[in-house]
Chain A
Amino acid sequence: MDVESITEETELHDKQSELDVAPALIAVHPTHHSLVVAIGSELRVFDLQGSCCVILGDGSSGHKDSIRAVSYGANGKLFVSAGDDKLVKIWNTDTWQCIYNVSSEKRVTAVAISNDGHYVSFADKFGVVWVVELEGLHQSSAVVEKKPAPMLSHYCSIITGLEFSPDGKYIVSADRDFKIRVTAFPTKPLEGAHEIQSFCLGHTKFVSCFTFVCNQEYPQGFLVSGSGDSTVCLWEYESGTLLNTCEVGAEAGLLQSNGSEEDILPVITDLCASRDGSLVAVAVQSLPGVLLLSCNLSVKSLSIVRKITITEEAFIPTCLSTSSTSELLWLVMGVSNLKGSVSPSLARVRAISCFGQNSEPIILADSEIPGGEQLLKTLQGNLSIEKEVFSRTAEAVKIAMNNLLIKKEYNVENREYRKRGRNDKKKYK
């Protein structure tokens, strides 16, 4: 074995172990009944109405590997979780019983529930989007196994986001090949979704997240997407028209110097729109806190209005969520399988109040959070977190995301060297 293949092998090994690192996820019930944090293979649920921890009822034994995607249905009756264990679990949010198990052939990267709650859709690492039809909220305690049907596919590209449009007419999927695809959601989705409405093309690196912004004037809404190119874009998604680009990284002064190489801009990790559609909260890879963008739908523009910094503990959120009935923005920072640490995982939950128009957002102290200490204990696991864990978490999340979504670049010499044995590279005289 020559030196090159040895280094390649160790690189591969490092990459594998870093890939196992999964960022923490957070999801709020659409009418603020409950709050879920997913960390590693664990789902932690807190009942916001009863102010108590929820024990999950699961006939089978929960997730066995990192959870990569969670979502509530539009009416809040269903919740779905999925990830690296190739298992999609569908939960009844009244009883928190797992009612359906769906087995996937590949690891799952994104999930969505149709607005009417009849279909659950999920995307795998090969770029295929699958769908299962549900027969309502059955009450039996046994978990029903379902078989998914393939619906559409992005050609061998990891899908990073999946959502139904607010009017339910379209299913939107984003991938690491810079694409956002808007597909008409058919009346018989089990037979496939073949009619592509549009592609939203404009990002120059992977699309990491997207969401819809709507208000009373525009109930069908617009699409807002964040990307590895450090921009947030506003789209008219039915035609795929790019309306506005906000250079978030550059404008917020988040330029990072990478030694001798070029300056790199930080990746957008998550987006969350306020319920009135006037603000979009943006989580950026190197920013402790969040950026608030003002979203003016009548003139179709996005602009940075405020930088909320949470510096006392270097809190760089990995996921954001809000509900349609409160003005609370929930944030989580966390990671599973943190190497070389006493605590194998970290989850830190924060909340920002007055997330909406014409109000001054306030970062809530732990004692002011609804549910208080009880909530934090349930979702974080413990109350006090060492400071040094935060910086290591931020680093681990960044490396894992880059390894997953950024294509490996070889310089010209390296590339030629790898092709040395090819017939078409031999010289002819």
Chain B
Amino acid sequence: MLENEAYLSKTTHLPRKRFFRARAHSNPLSDSHFPVPISPSHVDYSLHYPQLVVSSDTTSSKKVEFADIGCGFGGLLISLATLFPETLMIGMELRDKVTEYVKERILALRKANPGQYQNVSVVRTNSMKYIPNYFQKAQLSKMFFLFPDPHFKEKNHRRRVISPYLLDEYAYALRVGGIIYTITDVEELGEWMNSCLAGHPMFEALTQKELEADPVVKLLSSATEEGQKVSRNGGQTFQAIYRRITPIS
């Protein structure tokens, strides 16, 4: 990183994005060179949440409940952090520069607002490959997939983060009753994500009433950087929000 914290804004003391130029896409299929925890019990969450998790005590301490998959610059996490101050949440992002930015952003926010933002953190990982290395069965209550890479070509559909096979792994990590939130500004991808979820035996759509009652739904398009960009340009968004259920066997 740059020295003397030159990347921090002089007025807000938050990191500035232009010092974290990143590529828009990253190949999820390539072999990873970053460290991956052997299993969920090998992740030291006290490093992520120093005020809320004590490393020595792994059984009784709080566990991460929200996961923002492909968190980007972390807009949603930051909004959720104050909305659910008691819940631990983590962002997962494949691009190292972006992860770096979110890390700095959280640290700066913690410094500026003592006692707040202690419940958010970020890791650099490929969540399409390593979800089971981070979360135990039924550990999560919410998963977010906001404005994922659309991968238009049919031959690249297997790179999409929502796919029938990967939903099996998300259903494993989510507890019964947990909710999966997806949103995109690409109509074709919106239809794809909706049909994958609708066709999966372990998910059911939320009713209109439930969607209106859920405070998180409004954040999907307003809190994220991508969502703001879309509304600036007057674009349309497509949501698919589903609940994890016990499959009927």
A93 to B158, CA, bound (A): 38
A177-200 interface mask toward B, CB cutoff 8 Å, 1 = contact, 0 = none?
111000100110001111110110
Report which residue of B23, B165, B249 has the largest number of chain A beta carbons within 10 angstroms of its beta carbon: B165
User: Do residues B97 and A424 form an inter-chain contact, with CB atoms below 8 A?
Assistant: yes
Q: Known interface pairs A186-B249, A195-B247, A202-B38. Does A408 touch B31 (Cβ–Cβ under 8 Å)?
A: yes
Contacts of B40 on A, CB cut-off 8 Å?
201
Q: Is B222 close to A, CB under 8 A?
A: no
CB closest chain-A residue, reference B96: A424
Q: Chain A nearest CB: distance from B77 CB in Å? A: 22
Residues from chain B with Cβ under 8 Å of A186 in the complex: 249
For the complex, what is the distance from the CA of A177 to the CA of B32, rounded to whole Å?
A: 10
B22 touches A424 (CB 8 A): yes
Pick the contact of B158: A156, A203, A408 (CB < 8 A): A156
Interface residues on chain A, size class:
35 or more
Q: Which of B137, B164, B169, B201 contacts A198 (CB 8 A)?
A: B137
Residues of chain A lying within 8 A (CB to CB) of residue B18:
428
Tell me, yes or no, whether A417 is within 8 Å of chain B by CB: no
Question: Which chain B residues lie closer than 8 Å to A177 at the CB level?
Answer: 129
> Which residues of the other chain, B, contact A126 by a CB distance below 8 angstroms?
158
> B164 — nearest CB in chain A belongs to which residue?
A192
Tell which of A157, A423, A428 touches B129, judged by Cβ atoms closer than 8 Å: A157
Q: Using a CB-CB cutoff of 8 Å, which residues 38-84 of chain B contact chain A?
A: 38-40
The winner among A196, A204, A410 for most chain B CB atoms within 10 A is A196
Residues in chain B near residue A196, CB distance under 8 A? 137, 168-169, 171-172
In the complex, whether A218 has a CB less than 8 A from a CB of chain B is: no
A156 to B169, CA, bound (A): 14
Q: Are B165 and A153 in contact (CB under 8 A)?
A: yes
Closest to B172 in A: A196
Contact of B21 (CB < 8 Å), options: A187, A199, A428: A428
Instruction: Let me know if B29 and A156 touch, CB within 8 A.
Output: yes
0/1 interface trace, chain B 10-41, chain A, CB 8 Å (1 if under): 00000000110111000001010100001110
A407 at the interface (CB under 8 A from B): yes
The one of B22, B31, B97 in contact with A407, judged by C-beta atoms closer than 8 angstroms, is: B31
Q: How far is the CB of A122 from chain B (nearest CB, A)?
A: 16
Any chain B CB within 8 A of the CB of A152? yes
Cβ contacts under 8 Å, A153 to chain B = 165
Q: Let me know if A201 and B133 touch, CB within 8 A.
A: yes
Contact A423 B23 (CB under 8 A): yes
CB-CB under 8 A from A194, the residues of chain B are: 167-168, 171, 200-202, 247
Most-contacted residue by chain B among A177, A187, A193 (CB, 10 A)? A177
Judged by a CB distance under 8 angstroms, whether B128 is at the interface is: yes
Contact B200 A428 (CB under 8 A): no
Inter-chain contact A179/B21, CB cutoff 8 Å: no
Distance, CA A191 to CA B247, complexed state (A): 13
A residues less than 8 Å from B219 (CB atoms): none
- Asked if B177 lies at the interface with its beta carbon under 8 angstroms from chain A, I say no
Closest residue of chain B to A156 (Cβ to Cβ) is B29
User: A202 to B38, alpha carbons, bound, how many Å?
Assistant: 6
Residues of chain B with a CB closer than 8 A to A422's CB? 23
How far in angstroms is the closest Cβ of chain B from A186? Answer: 7
Give complex CA distance A374, B29 in Å.
49
- Do the beta carbons of B132 and A201 come within 8 Å of each other? yes
- Which residues in window 397-424 of A have CB below 8 A to B? 407-410, 415, 422-424
- Chain B nearest CB from A47 CB (Å) reads 41
| Chain A residue contacts of B31, Cβ below 8 A | 407-408
Nearest chain A CB to B101 CB, angstrom units: 11
A45 shortest CB reach to chain B, Å? 36
Query: What CA separation (Å) do A422 and B27 show in the bound complex?
Result: 14
Is B166 an interface residue, CB under 8 A from the partner? yes
Most buried by A among B23, B97, B172, B249: B172
Contact pick for A423, options B21, B39, B172, CB 8 Å: B21
Q: Which of B96-112 contact A (CB under 8 A)?
A: 97
- Of B19, B33, B38, the contact of A415 (CB 8 Å cutoff): B33
CB-CB under 8 A from A155, the residues of chain B are: 128-129, 165-166, 169
Contact B201 A187 (CB under 8 A): no
- Determine the chain B residues whose CB is within 8 A of the CB of A407 once the complex forms: 31
Query: Would you give the shortest CB distance from B59 to chain A, in whole angstroms?
Result: 14
Q: Please name all residues of chain B whose beta carbon is closer than 8 Å to the beta carbon of A152 when the two chains form the complex.
A: 165, 168
Assembled-state Cα–Cα distance A201/B167 (Å): 20
A128 (CB) vs chain B CBs: closest residue = B165
Contact call A428/B38, Cβ cutoff below 8 A? no
Task: Please measure, in the bound complex, the distance between the C-alpha atom of A422 and the C-alpha atom of B23, giving whole angstroms.
Answer: 8
- Give A410's nearest chain B residue, CB to CB: B33
Chain A: which residue is nearest B137 at the CB level? A198
When the two chains form their complex, are residues B21 and A424 in contact, meaning their CB atoms are under 8 A apart? yes
Of A179, A187, A202, A203, the contact of B249 (CB 8 Å cutoff): A187
- Please, which residues of chain A bring their CB within 8 A of the CB of B97? 424
**Is A204 a contact of B21 with CB atoms below 8 Å?**
no
Minimal beta-carbon separation of A309 from chain B (angstroms): 33
How far is A156 from B129 in the complex, measured between Cα atoms in Å?
8
In the bound complex, how far is the Cα of B129 from the Cα of A157, in angstroms? 9
16 interchain pairs (CB within 8 A)?
A: A152-B165, A156-B29, A178-B38, A191-B201, A192-B164, A194-B171, A194-B202, A195-B247, A196-B137, A196-B168, A196-B172, A201-B39, A240-B137, A409-B33, A424-B97, A428-B19
* Additional pairs, 5, CB under 8 Å, beyond known A179-B132, A415-B33: A191-B201, A194-B247, A201-B40, A203-B38, A422-B23
Q: Which 4 A-B pairs have the closest CB atoms?
A: A153-B165, A201-B39, A196-B172, A199-B132
